[in-house]
Structure 1
């Protein structure tokens, strides 16, 4: 979905992390957590990432 919106997305299987980069915003999601890092700032998610 991120790529359809013009962002770059990379998934790292070993660490199970999704990195999404768009303009000056970088988001890091880890599978089975409800946290996202937005430009290194930890923020809660309303649901667990899968």
Structure 2
């Protein structure tokens, strides 16, 4: 798996780590289906914190 920069966006708030967390990956269109599925599982865990 290649290295990617992953960001957490906090929707519906002006406060960091509040509101609804969403994982953001730029250039995701370059990923394979398998990479997207793998990444989605890890983004879910990241956003639960």
TM-score w.r.t. the length of structure 1 is: 0.28
Greater Cα radius of gyration, structure 1 or 2? 2
Structure having the larger proportion of residues in strand: 1
Higher relative contact order (CA 8 A, sep 6+): 2
TM-score w.r.t. the length of structure 2 is: 0.29
